[in-house]
Amino acid sequence: MCGIVGLVSTSNVNQTLYDALTVLQHRGQDAAGIVTYEDNRFFLRKDNGLVRDVFRTRHMQGLVGNVGIGHVRYPTAGSSSSAEAQPFYVNSPYGITLAHNGNLTNADELSRDLFRTDLRHINTNSDSEVLLNVFAHELQAIGKLNPTRDDVFAAVRAVHKRCRGAYAVIAMITGYGVIGFRDPNGIRPACYGVRETDEGTEYMIASESVALNAGGFELVRDIAPGEAIYIETDGTLHTEQCADDPRLYPCLFEHVYFARPDTILDQVSVYKARLRMGETLADKVQRERPDHDIDVVMPIPDTSRTSAMQMAHCLGVKFREGFIKNRYIGRTFIMPGQTMRKKSVRQKLNPIDLEFRDKNVMLVDDSIVRGTTCDEIVEMARDAGAKKVYFASAAPPVRYPNVYGIDMPAASELIAHGRTIEEIQELIGADWLLYQDLDDLIQCVSDVNPDIDGWETSVFNGQYITGDVHSDYLTALERERSDGNKERRESRHTLEDSDVIDLHNDD
């Protein structure tokens, strides 16, 4: 999962892009990058690390210009090297930089075609670089010295025909403008907003509406599936539908885990959706154990707090913060390697014994992926004095890998894959395990926007809506995402990056 932002302004964009990426930091903590444009030149800074660490004062001073894009990345399979930090750049045609959130399911095929047919070289393992080169080739094939808006939209239309999977994209065509578009299923989010200044109208495109809010932009709307938004450097905005058969199937896991609660995705309030998740969990408790003995409901901070609070309210029991979170530890399910994740759980959370002692505690988390965190947390609750430890997940069992931009583990490493709820309960050591039903979860997010055709729910039911994900692809993904493979690649990239730093240290 990544965060993207693009801006066409009437003044320098560096600070606004920085602020937007900081607000989107929850979408990626592995690498960050910004590229700007002025006087027919682009200015790029990107590296591994958090936004605050990648961009120092000297870097910000060098990012001049009124047009720019930015990106934050979280670690995905094989992408821990700083060489794969975004935005990516190609010099032909015109000079194009691109930031991408999602995953192309036919990236290997495209990479081969780019080399053999389009005569383009791919320098990394990133599908984002593949997507950039597809877009660049299609724009170059038009063969104009000065591309028009119709030319840009034609290139996007060709991208839709060639690329499969999920993608929300922001690209800057040097000297011409910024283009943003979503895949024809609208799996990954993107929206745009406007800000009026004394100098004129400014536009921002971003993954989440909170980035617009932080910059003082007013949300106009979400980019429709298959649609492209093109903003010329003078602030002129154009929109066009570029897909033949668009349909809106956004990723349901965005509402469960990734998006900030104060954001709006496809007209659905993430906060309100999570409140409803808590209500439906409470309803399930009442159905299954109307005589429950829950003394207190506690969230596993932070994503589940909204659902846990509403669950406690509906059950008429106390809501308490039983764990204090160290905010300087990253999200554990996307950390490479089992050893690192287990260590991080204890570093990340510390229990308040007073809230646990001699109580029957219902712990609420947004989801259960590997189960590593749950196992450790249940044990911590017992050590803190809880009589019984119940565990509720605001999401259904995660049984299948994600292929659309969330680097979930291999299927064999998902705790729910091939197991019953009773078996999972025993593995994590809980006295009772409660999962959200998929139909209830869908209902929590479906009654606001009638234009939503359905939801991308593959991690829960194994149904991949693009129709091109088969057993061979999943087998290859299993090998790629296994912990053993990740740890070997992490070790290799650490050595490679240390060599690069020794030779090219600009700090």
The catalytic site residues sit at 2
Q: Look up residue 285 and give its two tokens.
A: 């408790």
Query: What is the rounded CA–CA span in Å between residue 132 and residue 104?
Result: 12
User: Which amino acid makes up residue 419?
Assistant: R
The vertex-395 CA angle with 389 and 398, nearest 5°, equals 100
Query: What is the rounded CA–CA span in Å between residue 34 and residue 54?
Result: 10
Q: Look up residue 4 and give its two tokens.
A: 């993207």
Please identify which residue in the block is written with the tokens 């596993």. 300
342-348 own/partner pairs: CB under 8 Å, 24+ apart: 342/372, 342/376, 345/372, 345/373, 345/376, 345/377, 346/376, 346/380
Query: What is the rounded CA–CA span in Å between residue 352 and residue 88?
Result: 45
Contacts of 484 (CB under 8 A, 6+ apart): none
Report which secondary-structure segment, H or E, holds 240: strand 237-241
User: Is 353 labelled a binding residue?
Assistant: no
User: Is 236 labelled a binding residue?
Assistant: no
User: Is 366 labelled a binding residue?
Assistant: yes
Nearest Cα neighbor of 153 from 239, 95, 247, 248 is 239
Assign residue 63 a region (left: φ > 0; alpha: ψ between -120 and 50; beta: otherwise).
Answer: beta
Contacts of 306 (CB under 8 A, 6+ apart): 261, 271, 274, 275, 277, 278
Q: Which DSSP string do the residues of 406-428 spell out, in sequence order?
A: -----GGGSTTTT--HHHHHHHH
- Helical residues (DSSP H) of 218-352, grouped into ranges: 253, 270-288, 305-315, 338-348
Assign residue 477 a region (left: φ > 0; alpha: ψ between -120 and 50; beta: otherwise).
Answer: alpha
Binding-site annotation, residues: 303, 365-366
Binding-site annotation, residues for Mg(2+): 303, 365-366
